[in-house]
Structure 1
C-alpha cells in the first residue's frame, strides 16, 4: 500500500489533541510522516473511494481462517443460526466496494457504485449426537458429509453471482436506484447413524447372547443464513 495515503484511511479512530502548524512544519521527515501526524488529529475526506481500501479489505478476507467441523469462527456481530445438527452458522458481509456512507443527523445512507463487489465470509459447525454404547440398543454417530452448497449475491431477490466458499468475492454490475444487497448461504450436513440392537441381551454380563442387528440411517439437514445491506446506487467518481 502507498505509505503516504495509508494513515489517512482510518476514520472514526480516537484522535489526538489538536496540533499546531509548527508541529506539522517541524521535524517532518517525509510525506508519510506528515500524513501520519495529520491522520492523528483529524479525518481526511476523499473525492472518491480509494483503491487502497479495497486492497486492504481483500487482504482481510483472504486472511480469514474458518474453523473445522467442530468450530465456527465468526465476528462478534454475526447473527448465528442453529439447526438440529448445524449450529453457529452465519453469513457476514465484510465490505461492499467501492462505497461510502453518508451520516446525516440520525440517518446513514450507504452509496455504492453501479459496478462493484461484495466481500463475504461464512462458517458453521456440526453438532453430532453423543454415542450410546451401553445396553441392548446402541447408537454411533459420525459425519458422512458436510458442505457449503451455495453462496449467492442477490439484489432485491435476483441472483447476481454465486460460489461455494468460506471466503467469497461476489461481483455485480449495472445496478441503479435503491438496492437491498444480500448474501444468502445454504449449508448442508449428512450424518451417519448406526443403531445396533440385541434381542437376547444379558444385562448381568453386559453382552449379547444372540446376534446384534445393525441398521444404518443417514439424517440430513440444510440451514440457510444471510446478511444484507441497504444501498443507494450512484456514481462515486
Structure 2
C-alpha cells in the first residue's frame, strides 16, 4: 500500500552578512579587462573597492592607467555611477544554479535545510538603481529609486538517503520530483508580483514613497519515494511511502524610497547677479545651473563601487561541505559617504560662488565603512548639505537640474517664486538732532531707495528657510534697529567723524532682501554757532582774572614810576 505524507516547515529569514575579501583569486572578482561584460578594462577597474591592494599582481605596461591606480587605491566618483547597473546586468546572467546535489549561494547568505531539502536560499542579487549611504557611525541607509528592478537568485539541493539492506530486506529511495514552485515579491509584507519557478527571478517595481521594505521569497518543493521491501520469507508486503516536503526561504531589506523634491529660492542683486538656494530633504549630490552642466555645485556626498554585502564570492554546498566557486556573478553596489573634499563649486576660482551650506550636524561614519575601503571620508562631525546657496552671473530656471545620490534620480527645481526677488537698494541718513557740550544725539533713518518707504528692522518676518530680522545698523561699535518710522537714535560722547553702516540680513533669512548702505556724521562741541558763543563766554570767564590783573598793573604803573628824577613844577 502507499501513503503520501506532507511535511511542513516554517519560514526562514535569510540575512546577508558583511562582505569580506576573497580567499582565493579564482573565487573573487575577475581581473579587469578579462570579461565579456561590455565594460572596458578601465571601467571594470573601478568596480572593486573592497579588493585588497595586492589582490591582482601588477602588470606594468599592460594594465591601463586607471587599472594600475585602482590596484593601490580606491577610485571615487563625484556622482552616482551608472556602471553598477551595467555590470550587474551582465553578472546576473552569469549565475548558474548547482543542480540536484549542489546548492550555489553567496558566501554571506544563511542557508536553511529541512528534511530532504538542504542549503536552500533566496537571496537578493541587486536592486537597481540604489545607493547604500553611510550617514553616521550608527546610521546606514539603503536608498532605492521609486522605479527599478529587483533581481534575485534561488537555489537548493536535495539529499536523498542512500539505499540500505537489513535482515534480508531493503529500503530504497527515489527522487520523484523537485523544483522551485513559486517566487514572490513583497513590498511592506504585501505580495505585489509572483514568478513561476526560476533560479533567477527578476521583478520590476514602482514604489510608493512611504515603502519601507522589499522581500524576495521562494517556495521550494521536493517529492521523495521510499520503498520498504521485507525479507523473502516474511509475510509482510512491500510498502511505498511518498513524502512531499516544502520549504519557504526569503531575504528582505529595509529601504528608503528616494526621490528629489527640491525647492529653490532666487534673488537678483543690484548688479544683475543672481542668488540661488536649493533645499532637498534627503541627501543629494548637488545641482547644475546650465543646460551643459558646466556650472555645477556639489554637495558633501561622493561615491565608490564595491561588492554588495554578503557577496564576497560564491560557494558550492554539497553533502561533503562547501568550496569557493569561480564565477563572475558578483553584484556591485553604489556607496555614498560624506567627503572631506566637498562641497565645491565648478568651475573653481570663478562663478558660481558658494555662499552658504546648511543642514543637521552628523558624526563621521568612518567606523562604519568596510575595513578594506580607504576613502577621504570626513574625520570629524560634518554638516549634511540639505541646502546649498550660491551667487552666479545669471540663471535660467528651466536649466536648473537637481541631482540625487541615486543614479538617474534627477529633477528640475520647483520654484518657490515665479520671478526672483530683487535685493532692494537702501538709503541711510545720519544727522545730529540735539547736542550739548558733552554729547550729541544722532538720528539714523533707513529707507527703501526706490519707494522712500521706511524700513523697520524691529519687525520679524518669515523667510523660506528661517525666521529672522532684516539686519541692523551699526555706529560707534553699537548695533541698533530702526522702528516703524525707519528711525533709530544714538548718543555720541566723543568728538569725531562716525560712519553708520546698515548690515542687512542675508537674503536667505529675510522675507524682503535689502542691500547695505552707509552714512557719515561728524560731531564736535564747536561745530555750531551756539556752541562757539558758549565757548567764547567760557573762555572769557576763564581769562577775566588775568585781564583784570593786567589792567590793574597798567594803571598802577602810571601812578608809580621807578628809576628816574622827579620833575619840579
- TM-score, length of structure 1 as denominator length: 0.79
Corresponding position: 1:8 with 2:41: no
What stretches of structure 1 of length at least 5 have no aligned partner? 17-27, 199-207
Does the 8 Å CA contact 1:151/1:162 hold for their aligned counterparts?
yes
Deviations 1:8-31 (A, max 9, x none): 344344469xxxxxxxxxxx9xxx
Superposed, 1:48-87 pairs within 5 Å as 48-50=80-82, 52-87=83-118
Provide the residue aligned with 1:131 in structure 2.
163
Provide the residue aligned with 2:421 in structure 1.
none
Provide the residue aligned with 1:165 in structure 2.
198
Cα distance 1:37–1:133, how it changes in 2: closer, same or farther (>3 A)? closer
State the distance in 1 between where 2:43 and 2:98 align. 34
Q: Secondary structure at the match of 2:88?
A: helix
Provide the residue aligned with 1:217 in structure 2.
241
RMSD: 2.6
Does the 8 Å CA contact 1:110/1:231 hold for their aligned counterparts?
yes
Shift of 1:219: 0.7
What stretches of structure 2 of length at least 5 have no aligned partner? 1-37, 55-60, 260-405, 410-569
State the distance in 2 between where 1:111 and 1:134 align. 60
Give the one of 190, 194, 216 matched to 2:227.
Answer: 194
Deviations 1:108-154 (A, max 9, x none): 10100001111111111112123222325421101001010111111
Shift of 1:66: 1.0
Provide the residue aligned with 2:180 in structure 1.
148
Shift of 1:211: 6.8
Larger CA deviation: 3-12 vs 139-148: 3-12
Cα distance 1:81–1:2, how it changes in 2: closer, same or farther (>3 A)? closer
Provide the residue aligned with 1:21 in structure 2.
none
Structure of greater relative contact order (alpha carbons < 8 Å, 6+ residues apart): 1
Corresponding position: 1:118 with 2:156: no
- TM-score, length of structure 2 as denominator length: 0.35
Equivalent residues, number: 214
Corresponding position: 1:43 with 2:75: yes
Shift of 1:64: 1.3
Does the 8 Å CA contact 2:124/2:150 hold for their aligned counterparts?
yes
Shift of 1:174: 3.2
Provide the residue aligned with 1:180 in structure 2.
213
Give the one of 242, 248, 251 matched to 1:227.
Answer: 251
Does the 8 Å CA contact 2:46/2:75 hold for their aligned counterparts?
yes
Cα distance 1:49–1:98, how it changes in 2: closer, same or farther (>3 A)? farther
Does the 8 Å CA contact 2:187/2:211 hold for their aligned counterparts?
no
Q: Secondary structure at the match of 1:219?
A: strand
Shift of 1:160: 2.4
Provide the residue aligned with 1:90 in structure 2.
121
Cα distance 1:80–1:42, how it changes in 2: closer, same or farther (>3 A)? closer
Cα distance 1:2–1:130, how it changes in 2: closer, same or farther (>3 A)? closer
Cα distance 1:33–1:175, how it changes in 2: closer, same or farther (>3 A)? farther
State the distance in 2 between where 1:102 and 1:46 align. 14
